Amino acid sequence: MFYPKSPFIRYPLVESQLCKGNLTLLDGLLPWLCRTPSVTTYRVNLLKTTQETFKAQVEQLLKQRYNNPPQVFTLSDLPEVVCISPADYALNPISEQKEIIVDSCCGAAVLRGAHIYSIGVIGMETGTQVGDLVNVYADLSGKCKKGSNIRYESDQKVYLGQGKVLMQRYQLYRTEGPQAGVAVEMLNTISGVPSIGDLSGTEALLQNLPSIICARALNPQANETILDMCSAPGNKTTHLAELMRNQGVIVALDKTESKIKLVREKIVKNDFSCIKAYAYDSTKAYSDQIVENDVEFKPPFKAGSFDRILLDAPCSALGNRPLLSSSISPKMLESYAKVQKRLFTNAVKLLKDNGILVYSTCTINMEENEEIVVWALQTFPELKLVTVEPAYGGSGWSCEGLLDEDRKKLQRFGPGNSEAVDTVGFFIAKFVKSV
């Protein structure tokens, strides 16, 4: 079996680009990206339920599913978080069982605890029946043909774990497309992450810990005016509303109707009255032609309209572990910083004096993280870095132009963080706009 030491097999030049050639950082970073985070986190909606109630529900579910259930624990300074430790077992494929093949993207989701939906099944051996136990593999090469009915042989397929078949071949490979639903129920995975699917609902949401910390870092207060510049799918937006107890105004923007639809669905589902969601390009959210904002508070906005701004920027997303295979090219990687700077420039103009701006990405690329901070401090003298809290990540990486004292105020999630909070790759910076 083959396990990747780096997800950038197709474009190895990307590796040095991520860390600006710092090979010491790369040694630990690349294999870390290919591994699954050890901790699963849910954000509890404290307006709907309690941390203790949801924790008890998860514990009961795990007891029903496992003889030796994983530990469920909480974090003292994050009262809305419930964490699930990995299960403790070792797995090997069972030779007499048939095989299911999925692509690398689906494989990553499986290793994070997801079941396999019909659209994700690439190959299924002839004779596989509903109820069969199967070995599940991910094809990293992308060479397994959709609908393959023979055993796929490759030195670039990764064993994921054991599953139970819920659909047959004729349901998966139809002319009109696969039948909707779960095709393979995962029973266990090599990552140890419990195979319980997504327990998200109005009372709790499956969300990575750094994303939860983003909203906490912004620290929104009731009756303030908040801007979430790139809000889809709305997870951080709804967290902000919960922290504000649905009191105040949150403007949620995203560029397309399809994206903002996801935010609106969460608003309706959770009965939030404080969120106004618009399909609007945040690079154009500021206008120097506006003296008074729209009476309904629609974009664009005049300068100094917001108390706090969250810029969870569109990025290369190279922190989404496990990253089994990536097709990003050096040219593609270079394109993100340009958009991020345009968004950041608008954010500074829209922020009130003494306002707070949180900038975040879900990538490990230095150009989109520390180098953006250096650029921002040089471009906007009115900005000052402040420490990101609560602190669960490490400091930022050393970067030309970044003072050591400022580097320590950043929060970067990566290799070397505590195993107790091992999560995705992420970056958070917090600024205050001085008068």
Catalytic residues: 362
Task: Give the start-end residues of each E strand in 223-301.
Answer: 225-228, 249-254, 275-279
Residue 217's nearest CA partner among 312, 313, 304 is: 312
Question: Could you tell me where the beta strands, DSSP code E, fall in 271-389?
Answer: 275-279, 306-312, 351-361, 383-386
Q: How is residue 247 written in tokens?
A: 């009191």
Q: Regarding beta strands 121-124 and 383-386, do their DSSP bridges make them parallel or antiparallel, or are they unpaired? A: unpaired
- According to DSSP, the residues that pair with 226 across neighbouring strands are 250, 308
List the beta bridge partners of residue 139: 103, 157
Distance of CA 278 to the CA centre of its chain: 22
Sequence-separated (6 or more) residues with CB below 8 Å from residue 394 = 411, 412, 413, 414, 416, 417
The strand pairing partners of 254, in sequence order, are: 279
**Integer Cα distance of 46 and 79 in angstroms:** 9
> Both tokens of residue 311?
């810029």
Q: In terms of DSSP bridges, do strands 426-433 and 351-361 run parallel, antiparallel, or are they unpaired?
A: antiparallel
The three-state secondary structure class of 52 is helix
| Torsion region of 349: left, alpha or beta (phi above 0 gives left; psi -120 to 50 gives alpha) | alpha
- What is the C-alpha to C-alpha distance for residues 199 and 320, in angstroms, rounded to an integer? 20
Is 265:277 a contact under the CB 8 Å cutoff?
A: no
SS3 (DSSP) at 405: helix
Burial bucket for residue 206 (CB in 10 Å: 0-12, 13-18, 19+) = middle
With 0-12 / 13-18 / 19 or more C-beta atoms within 10 angstroms meaning exposed / middle / buried, residue 52 is exposed
- What whole-number distance in Å separates Cα of residue 225 and Cα of residue 337? 27
